[in-house]
Structure 1
Amino acid sequence: MGTREDVYQLLEEKMLKYADYANVPVIEVDEVVLFEPVPQQGVLRVEHVPAEMSELTGGVIYVRRPVIDMLYWAGQELKNLDRSLTLKVVYGFRASEVQTRLYEEAKDALREQYPNEDELVEAAHRNVAVPSVAGYPTGGAVAVEILRDEQPVDMGTPVMEANRDAFTFSPFVSRDAWDHRQLLRRAMMAAGFAPFDGEWWHFSYGDKEWARFYRQPGALYDQVSFADAQKVDPDGDLAL
């Protein structure tokens, strides 16, 4: 099996990289750029975990309209398997300017370790996606976990914590955590989301990761700034 480090490297080699997403085009779709709050009802629970967007939105999690339907689908998949299970959404839309700030901070932290610019970009991308290909700024990516009787189940690592044992297929987590990760992955994929196996909690629809994973001709959604996300829709409702 090799050393622990060898296993991490093998898992990383199987993951798609920035270069795999860089040339994925964005295809125009006939859809108003409208974001809606994820509702805390039925098969869904909502709690914003990181603070960088809650400072702007008051802790409300926003996503594209179709994503909400898909989250309900995934939540119902879990309920169908076990009535005690609930899908919890902890992150959604991240403004493109916030993504850029976080990415530049990741690059700065790694600059001495990776003097080659191409290597630096890929290394930083493993921690914070390059803004031009990132899923959160499209409103199509989410971070989720599973609750059992309203309490988080063992997923091996805390949600949204940078840790290589957060790789979905890390063999260094408990059997229960492994099973829970595969259960979450199956439910989210059944709803149409694409998984990012570098983070067991990260799934997306309509972004470049989704397009590359499902071999679509292009992404449906582009990155959106906070100002653009707040534009008024044709019905007069605020988009954010």
Structure 2
Amino acid sequence: MTAVDFEHIAIRENGDPLTDLRSYPFDLCPSYFRRGLSPTSAMYVRHTVAEMLVGIQRDLAPLTFRIWDGYRPRSVQSNIYLHYLADLRAAHPEKEEAELRKEAEIFVTEPGDPRRIPPHATGGAVDLTLLDRAGHELDMGTAFDHFGPESAALYFEERSGDSLVRDNRRRLRDAMIGAGFRCDADEWWHFDFGNQIWAAHYKEPEAFYGEIGQRGQRP
């Protein structure tokens, strides 16, 4: 997740509740639970986001969504951030801590700053890919959470390379953006709706999804 500025965007919370994705026709693959970074396999997004995904999936049939992550509280965000930061320290012992933290924030929002709401903490962010009719993931060029330059949404648009990967990413990206989502520049799998980073991208004066839990909203 690119460390862009979005904290200045005002939030007018609209109260759209979280909804359990287990009641929807998606393939759910709770990545962070399986990696021991989340205490639950249950996955949630805002209700409107879930309904939008149903409509997109219908338009993309026979392809279906595989969803790796949706809403995550700051506690899980912290686990992911610290895990990635530890990997960076091990891989680059020569780098200063400040440099490592800056590099980590390219892909994972640092959860400790109360003024900066991680997009996933709003329930308006989702990480996903597409499955073919046989249930196989389309080739997107990298695995989920591959934290490297190849994960950039337009990596295969801007470089000569695998046209199949380019077209697969384009199909996912165009469908999501066409429905109103924001595509993250550094992560082809990450999309936002209604939160501050979405509002900043589309130059909206306000976001309508704030941090879940601030007013007793819990999954």
Q: TM-score, normalised by structure 2?
A: 0.80
- Please report how far the alpha carbon of residue 156 of structure 1 lies from its aligned counterpart in structure 2 after TM superposition: 0.6
Query: Partner of 2:8 in structure 1?
Result: 24
- Please report how far the alpha carbon of residue 175 of structure 1 lies from its aligned counterpart in structure 2 after TM superposition: 1.1
User: 1:74-93 counterparts in 2 under 5 A?
Assistant: 74-79=56-61, 84-93=62-71
Query: Partner of 1:11 in structure 2?
Result: none
Counterpart of 1:88 in structure 2: which amino acid?
R
Which structure is higher in RCO with an 8 Å CA cutoff and minimum separation 6?
2
Matched, 1:62 2:44: yes
Counterpart of 2:129 in structure 1: which amino acid?
E
Query: Partner of 1:49 in structure 2?
Result: 31
Q: Which runs of 5+ in 1 are unaligned?
A: 1-15, 231-239
Tell me, yes or no, if the aligned pair for 1:18 and 1:133 is still in contact at 8 Å: no
| Structure 1 stretches of at least 4 aligned residues deviating more than 6 Å after TM superposition | none
Q: Distance in 2 between matches of 1:163 and 1:38?
A: 29
Q: 1:98 aligns with which of 65, 76, 79?
A: 76
Q: 2:20 aligns with which of 25, 31, 37?
A: 37
| CA RMSD, 1 decimal | 2.8
Q: Which runs of 5+ in 2 are unaligned?
A: none
Deviations 1:36-94 (A, max 9, x none): 1114654x32221222688422x221111111111112212212xxxx31122121111
Tell me, yes or no, if the aligned pair for 2:129 and 2:189 is still in contact at 8 Å: yes
State how many pairs are aligned: 206
Counterpart of 2:76 in structure 1: which amino acid?
V
Q: 2:199 aligns with which of 211, 214, 234?
A: 211
Tell me, yes or no, if the aligned pair for 2:37 and 2:76 is still in contact at 8 Å: no
Q: Secondary structure at the match of 2:128?
A: strand
- Please report how far the alpha carbon of residue 218 of structure 1 lies from its aligned counterpart in structure 2 after TM superposition: 2.5
Q: TM-score, normalised by structure 1?
A: 0.74
* Higher Rg of the two aligned structures: 1
Counterpart of 1:164 in structure 2: which amino acid?
P
Query: Partner of 2:124 in structure 1?
Result: 140
Q: 1:185 aligns with which of 168, 173, 184?
A: 173
Indicate the percent of aligned positions where both proteins have the same amino acid: 26
Q: Distance in 2 between matches of 1:135 and 1:27?
A: 13
Deviations 1:133-183 (A, max 9, x none): 421111111111011112111111112232321111113652111100010
Query: Partner of 2:146 in structure 1?
Result: 161
